[in-house]
């Protein structure tokens, strides 16, 4: 049902003024007794005189007849997603292990320990399937009393250590016999003796 003004404009039932020309349609209802307008979806215009909300595109307020042409349309509030947290910086790469080598004193043959957490020192024996990382067979190992599994060098937490593997002719560090199965710290320049074969531990 609608209310028509004298100019022939149709207006919603209950309108006090024409939406098109502003002509009074009936005695305005006192503001104190007016019902709250139904919520309007989409863009709207708020009357600057009485505060009523009108659909976008209306020329006059349907409640008080005020001119709405100067009132800006209220655009729907944009919804912003919260900003993404900054990327977590990558942890620095772990420092490379200390480069180290073992040098045979008699002929300066060197064995590189880089990248190895454990290196077996002894003599190769294919029959027993023993292939040590530091094979002293060509360096007078058998005559010098080096066992097949004589000792091993370990790397842990940034430190190198040597451990005697219950050898018959013992392991010495700087001329001091070390206890079997007891890792002993090594430092740059240390002398290692297995039986009678002498090695030198060096770090880069």
Angstrom distances, CA of residue 44 to CA of 47, 48, 160: 10, 13, 78
CATH number of 100-203: 2.60.200.20
Q: Domain-by-domain residue ranges, the chain? A: 1-77, 100-203
Rounded distance between C-alpha atoms, residue 68 and residue 89, angstroms: 55
Q: Mean of the pLDDT values across residues 190-199?
A: 97
pLDDT band per the 50, 70, 90 thresholds, residue 88: low
Angstrom distances, CA of residue 166 to CA of 62, 78, 178: 104, 78, 10
Contacts within 8 Å (CB) and 24+ apart, 4-11: 11/62
Question: Burial of 68 by CB count in 10 Å (0-12 exposed, 13-18 middle, 19+ buried)?
Answer: buried
Rounded distance between C-alpha atoms, residue 122 and residue 142, angstroms: 9
User: What pLDDT is stored for residue 26 in this prediction?
Assistant: 63
**Average per-residue pLDDT for the chain:** 81
User: What pLDDT is stored for residue 20 in this prediction?
Assistant: 76
**111/1: higher pLDDT:** 111
User: What pLDDT is stored for residue 185 in this prediction?
Assistant: 96
Rounded distance between C-alpha atoms, residue 109 and residue 131, angstroms: 18
User: What pLDDT is stored for residue 5 in this prediction?
Assistant: 77
Number of C-beta neighbours around residue 74 at 10 A: 14
pTM, two decimals, is 0.53
User: What pLDDT is stored for residue 105 in this prediction?
Assistant: 96
């Amino acid at each position: 049902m609608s209310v028509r003004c004298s100019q022939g404009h149709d207006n919603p039932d209950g309108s006090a003024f024409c939406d098109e020309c502003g002509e009074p349609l009936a005695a305005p209802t006192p503001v104190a007794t007016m019902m709250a307008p139904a919520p309007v979806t989409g863009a709207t215009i708020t009357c600057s005189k009485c505060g009523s909300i009108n659909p976008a595109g209306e020329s006059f307020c349907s409640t008080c007849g005020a001119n709405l042409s100067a009132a800006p349309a209220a655009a729907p509030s944009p919804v912003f997603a919260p900003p993404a947290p900054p990327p977590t910086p990558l942890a620095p790469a772990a420092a490379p292990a200390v480069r180290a080598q073992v040098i045979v004193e008699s002929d300066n043959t060197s064995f590189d320990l880089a990248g190895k957490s454990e290196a077996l020192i002894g003599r190769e024996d294919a029959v027993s399937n023993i292939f040590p990382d530091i094979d002293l067979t060509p360096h007078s190992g058998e005559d010098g009393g080096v066992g097949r599994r004589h000792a091993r060098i370990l790397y842990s937490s940034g430190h190198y250590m040597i451990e005697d593997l219950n050898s018959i002719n013992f392991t010495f560090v700087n001329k001091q016999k070390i206890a079997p199965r007891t890792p002993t710290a090594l430092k740059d320049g240390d002398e290692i003796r297995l039986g009678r074969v002498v090695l030198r531990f060096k770090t880069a």
